[in-house]
Structure 1
């Protein structure tokens, strides 16, 4: 018995030692399989003009689609040159060259080495000079190419324009002076004449968002003792002869007795130059506090400070793990073990410079489980790490037990972050069975993360042919090109993979309208009621609106006698319906709007975002956790990244065939549309720019002269043999040097859109129905006539304008005359604002 006990003791001792050794070996192996996120290695290129540094460019590992590289525009001087600097950060640069292309990238204009530069330590100073191959006031794509060590080419993109009428020096000087005065309230008093302070538009309660309507005190930082840290980064976003849009990015800090708090700040300016003075058309400042992981908790609060109150946050089902985003950093707080983890960030206290702080990327939380594991996406420009200098979508998994992050898949993307961000806002969802769903270039992809394969699930033919729920879990779509005569809807629950269909009855057409939560809203119209006029505009009166769940089961129906719904808007828990009634003669008359309410309250989580007013900091954002946070025992963790052999890259094939229109606003792409009218309307509201697939400007606001008239177009009369629409179409075609018989073509069933598209091959035809007269005058300013259709079937051409009048060619009366701007605006609005025009394509 004694021997048995001794043997057992020896066995247990050996077993315990073996466990310890094995554990050490496993831990050592685990350490060898992980690494810190690699540091940033790319230089930065900055343009200079008359002593002002602007357009800080970040390098790309490979050639990108130039049509979408429009983050900045560089104005060349009279000799077609510009100064530049390169901050190398110790990277060995062996050569510099430039590539000049057309904005669509198809035409290489110049590929020239740069020899006019000198090196001073870790900075290169030089001058770029373009050859006499470019035209004035025309945008081009300019790529600065750095030859780095190991035969690596790094590309830096900007648009370039050679102009002596942009007044860029005056605009840059005004903006930089405005920015500097904000720190000195006495000096800033000079700025009050540019502000449009209005307390009814701004309550001045938060420093996170300040704009042109804020109070003078709020714009000059209130009582916050802010100090600027480092040099501000100025970016020229858009430039025209009168106007410019400019961004300034910088960092400020506030110093207290115990700590210094840092903030990232972005200022947007839109200015107009005149010979008399400068005008500030728009101003907005966004301030975001950078969390200090050592001092971001108190009692049962995680302190986020001055930031957006709409904090992206997901918690586990039991509420013990809360994952949130703050200042482009991903955090996880575990309530049960009092651990705070900085899951992902390109910057930290050891990696904080212009490269790591560059904000052209986003992070999205995809899933959080009870074990504290987190699936998330990083998409956009990769500041550092394995994919430094690339644009793409990186799907990660955070393993809570190992405290590691691991790349599951990387999807490269050749367009810009601005476009990618707009695409991901539409759809990016991960199911629990590791299937990723995303929308790119009008295609919905289903990606199997385990097998690294994909399939194309949906081809989106028009803007509204697919609708997505707010949480991206449910999608509904219709197939086919005939958007207004669809007979079937398809619903897919991306969470569990179930699919269902909704079929319209014989003689009906069906249209997806949107979502109320996860419930589908759709409308039904009688096919015989769906009409298309001679301009190509479609009228779709819905006699019934229905709401169903994701299984296609009917939840409610809205239908009233002789009431037809023409559109709907979903906001919060309310659906607002636009309605018409049908008169005895078959015409329709606008009726009062109606509402459908959703009384189901959104369930609140166990950890919630709250905001409080805190003395000089004003609105202060916090996460209220389910338990009190013990600051004396809290652990701060930073995971390492798992290392793996080979690559996990998956390239998605896409053949983009449909025209798309990109709306660029204050901070990037605000919308992508297949219908130009929707793009122009959004750009008009936000004083933005519309760009097409080739990078050509379709529309912009604020560059109109005070008067212009197309003198080549004179009065023309309609006859019994040729109606006013035919006269207008013939006039437009003749103006472009093409002779056709539009009356005959209309008689063959062609619409005005068909005729113009078929006979103007070097133009892009634009249906701008629904846009305002003020918006379409942009084309008249470009010496392009605008066709306007009237309710009585007649048509007119808009051929000129001044400050007070519009020039109209009216074939029904045979007149070319001026009409008051306000009267014409009202007249055309009452006729539905049905406009057709075009833009010339080079």
Structure 2
């Protein structure tokens, strides 16, 4: 009996020791975690993919609300003439799901076909959906495919990708080229001469150099070692999601997105989100041995007699030595890799007294700090952090995926944040805008307003405004302005400055009809300014609004003058006064080469005076120097950089720049950022702190709790556009929005981007123009013999060329040529004013005539060109005229390259 008792005691003692051990281990392992609570809810909506052979392409995230499809350009999927497509959907969370599909016009307003889908069970937890389009889809025309999911418990989501029918896009070769390049960047020991990277670098003719952010952004201009990660040797830890962003018969933009991890010899692990962008062209080139070696044979194998007349050289029946054998040629037009490191709370560097932010692709870091410098709030990779130096704590205020970087759902980055206010106690107000990746609003687009209580570690949602604008379009506006004064929430969206009264839950707007560039906002977002007109010559009033005090101030121009707002220095507004008559004065653009004078500033009327007013509308400085004009004003950190001009008979010509400096208090040290490469061997961004602060301890981690607030408000805002705008997409998505197509195209050329209208039509994409082309034989000439009627004559010819029967009275109803082309024609008319002659000839290269204004104000039609000359039909003279390119360029400059054309579907 005693033996049994001893055994029992031993068992009880061992059990007690086990429990105590578990308890102590738990305390030890979590000794740096305080008030640990559940993170934000993980994403639940399944992901969908296009099945392409053995690969999955074009990862699609589910949307649970309305979406403006003309602004959604996440991916495009080429399909063959059989119009078959296979979609794979993760089905782990959504059991017993039913599916259907729709094919819509690219604008989304026209339903082409719809149907139900039967899901087959695939491998690895996927539902497989086979879609066979029944309707006759036009070749090369983009449509929007919508896949709709509905779960057994009533939840639903929609998935989107553009589709286009063409058997000759060579997408498999282009995708393989991108994959080969991607793989080669991880072949760390391979010589450049043995790598496909070396081949593409030798052929690369693009400009630019590697960025100043080290590995944060590299391109083909960087050294080979940079492209191979310069010894960092990261490992890919997630799926490599591949997207076809744009494609046509000879060109594609391909994106690869993935997560990577590196580890040092001291076992320090770092995690990164990586995006790679490939712009690749495909063309069949003549086999070298087959090209005729006769004098005058061109690289395209077509014989050209340089002594022939214009008509002979460009007739459709010219002699040619046709090469029958070709081989594919793939050219890497550009490659860009952007790397952003995830913030690691352990990145305290006590020796250098800095806090590591990480490798960054851009210096555009959203952060605030308290007046005593003891607390910093900042946004990194979709996560909002708050570091408390005094208490030695750091808090993940908002965001998910902290320890699960490989999860594509939780780390989806189609949203961003603005820190609105941050007080000395660590309490914060902030806004989240874009695609809601998790939580109660998962799958919706919108703007959410939150408060954070540092004492309770609770995040409280005050308001959610659901909208139909995708993140890429939303960020150009909403990133500029979100402000909460305790009573009203202000935000910019849909060309309006909106205001929500939090007590009445009613929304109104302060101003409307604004583009993102029309509204200027102070850094702290407390003060904003806007004009009454997009046209500067009509802008005779500026409104300055101090949202902190709720007061507004109006600044008016004198007789014959107009105003331009340049922006804010802290909370002080900087604006200029211009003479309306100076809008007609030309600018000697060549004299400004090498200055800061940008293409965008060419639409601004140079100002003769500059003023600075504070947030209460009080003037604090004036700048004016007789005979000098401000061509461009840049608001830098501690100065205004003034690009100046002088007016002469030939127009505004460049003179020396000038500056207005702001003296800073050198004795007051504040939180800042700096790039350092000496610490880790790689260029990383760091927080710097005042000299009386000593960073020595790794802070304890807090994770916030979501507060359930029954008083939280929700509303829906549907943005309806009342005008056509033109959107420039660069590597990282939607870059800028313009009202004039020509301005958008000029900017797109500078960033190697594309231009898409708000109606979904691709207005411009990079493409190789033919060396010559003529459409003269297809133009039905019309002449009324007068300069005043020449525009109507040109419109008549263009519409007739499209196959439209119109009368003179039909055209006479319209004063705007773009409106006439859109209302009467079969294609979308565009204003391409400002484009160079070379750019205009790109349309003629595609078989599209261009209306151009020249000389005495007459409008003519460009119908042919070669390397040296162009041919245009002059309805005043009733004949075709051939002039040199240089001569025609001079004729166009007199009317600032005013031009109009249209785009094919």
**Which TM bucket (shorter chain)?**
0.7 to 0.9
- Pairing 1:269–2:278 present: yes
User: How far apart are residue 764 of structure 1 and its match?
Assistant: 4.4
Equivalent position to 2:824, from 757, 760, 764: 760
Question: What residue is the counterpart of 2:113 in the other structure?
Answer: 110
CA distance in 2, matches of 1:205, 1:544: 37
After superposition, the C-alpha distances for 1:371-418 in whole angstroms (9 at most, x for unaligned) are 111111221112211111111111111110001111111111212111
- The 8 Å contact of residues 496 and 514 in structure 2, kept in 1 or not, is answered as no
CA distance in 1, matches of 2:531, 2:259: 47
CA distance in 2, matches of 1:205, 1:482: 38
Equivalent position to 1:421, from 468, 475, 486: 475
CA distance in 1, matches of 2:444, 2:585: 46
Map 1:285-304 → 2, pairs under 5 A: 285-294=337-346, 298=350, 300-304=353-357
- The 8 Å contact of residues 199 and 213 in structure 1, kept in 2 or not, is answered as yes
Q: Which moved more, 1:36-45 or 1:818-827?
A: 818-827
CA distance in 1, matches of 2:534, 2:392: 55
Map 1:577-726 → 2, pairs under 5 A: 577=643, 579=645, 581=647, 583=649, 589-593=651-655, 595-601=657-663, 606-614=670-678, 617-626=681-690, 627-631=693-697, 634-645=699-710, 648-652=713-717, 654-702=719-767, 704-705=769-770, 707-710=772-775, 711-713=777-779, 719=785, 724-725=790-791
Q: Which runs of 5+ in 2 are unaligned?
A: 1-33, 285-327, 587-601
Question: What residue is the counterpart of 2:234 in the other structure?
Answer: 226
From the superposition, tell whether residues 690 and 539 of structure 1 become closer, same or farther in structure 2 (CA, over 3 Å): closer
CA distance in 2, matches of 1:480, 1:622: 42
User: How far apart are residue 569 of structure 1 and its match?
Assistant: 5.1
- The 8 Å contact of residues 374 and 397 in structure 1, kept in 2 or not, is answered as yes
TM-score, with length taken from structure 1: 0.86
User: How far apart are residue 464 of structure 1 and its match?
Assistant: 5.5
Equivalent position to 2:198, from 188, 192, 202: 192
User: How far apart are residue 812 of structure 1 and its match?
Assistant: 5.7
Count the aligned residue pairs: 799
CA distance in 1, matches of 2:207, 2:902: 42
CA distance in 1, matches of 2:709, 2:134: 47
Equivalent position to 1:792, from 856, 868, 873: 856
User: How far apart are residue 237 of structure 1 and its match?
Assistant: 0.7
User: How far apart are residue 166 of structure 1 and its match?
Assistant: 1.5
- Pairing 1:210–2:275 present: no
CA distance in 1, matches of 2:133, 2:726: 30
- The 8 Å contact of residues 238 and 244 in structure 1, kept in 2 or not, is answered as yes
Map 1:238-253 → 2, pairs under 5 A: 238-253=246-261
CA distance in 1, matches of 2:430, 2:562: 39
TM-score, with length taken from structure 2: 0.81
User: How far apart are residue 439 of structure 1 and its match?
Assistant: 1.1
- The 8 Å contact of residues 733 and 740 in structure 1, kept in 2 or not, is answered as no
SS in 2 for 1:784: coil
CA distance in 2, matches of 1:722, 1:609: 60
From the superposition, tell whether residues 721 and 331 of structure 1 become closer, same or farther in structure 2 (CA, over 3 Å): closer
Question: What residue is the counterpart of 1:809 in the other structure?
Answer: 873
SS in 2 for 1:439: strand
SS in 2 for 1:349: coil
CA distance in 2, matches of 1:758, 1:608: 52
Question: What residue is the counterpart of 1:24 in the other structure?
Answer: none
CA distance in 2, matches of 1:138, 1:194: 31
User: How far apart are residue 238 of structure 1 and its match?
Assistant: 0.7
CA distance in 2, matches of 1:326, 1:732: 51
CA distance in 2, matches of 1:253, 1:51: 26
After superposition, the C-alpha distances for 1:174-201 in whole angstroms (9 at most, x for unaligned) are 1011101111142762321212499982
CA distance in 2, matches of 1:743, 1:94: 54
- The 8 Å contact of residues 662 and 669 in structure 1, kept in 2 or not, is answered as yes
User: How far apart are residue 91 of structure 1 and its match?
Assistant: 2.6
Question: What residue is the counterpart of 1:48 in the other structure?
Answer: 51
CA distance in 2, matches of 1:555, 1:332: 36
User: How far apart are residue 268 of structure 1 and its match?
Assistant: 0.9
From the superposition, tell whether residues 461 and 620 of structure 1 become closer, same or farther in structure 2 (CA, over 3 Å): closer
CA distance in 1, matches of 2:722, 2:206: 46
Provide the aligned C-alpha RMSD in A: 3.5
Q: Which moved more, 1:689-698 or 1:567-576?
A: 567-576
CA distance in 1, matches of 2:900, 2:225: 47
Q: Which runs of 5+ in 1 are unaligned?
A: 1-30
User: How far apart are residue 828 of structure 1 and its match?
Assistant: 3.6
CA distance in 2, matches of 1:567, 1:742: 44
SS in 2 for 1:484: helix
From the superposition, tell whether residues 104 and 578 of structure 1 become closer, same or farther in structure 2 (CA, over 3 Å): farther
- The 8 Å contact of residues 206 and 333 in structure 2, kept in 1 or not, is answered as no
- The 8 Å contact of residues 207 and 617 in structure 1, kept in 2 or not, is answered as no
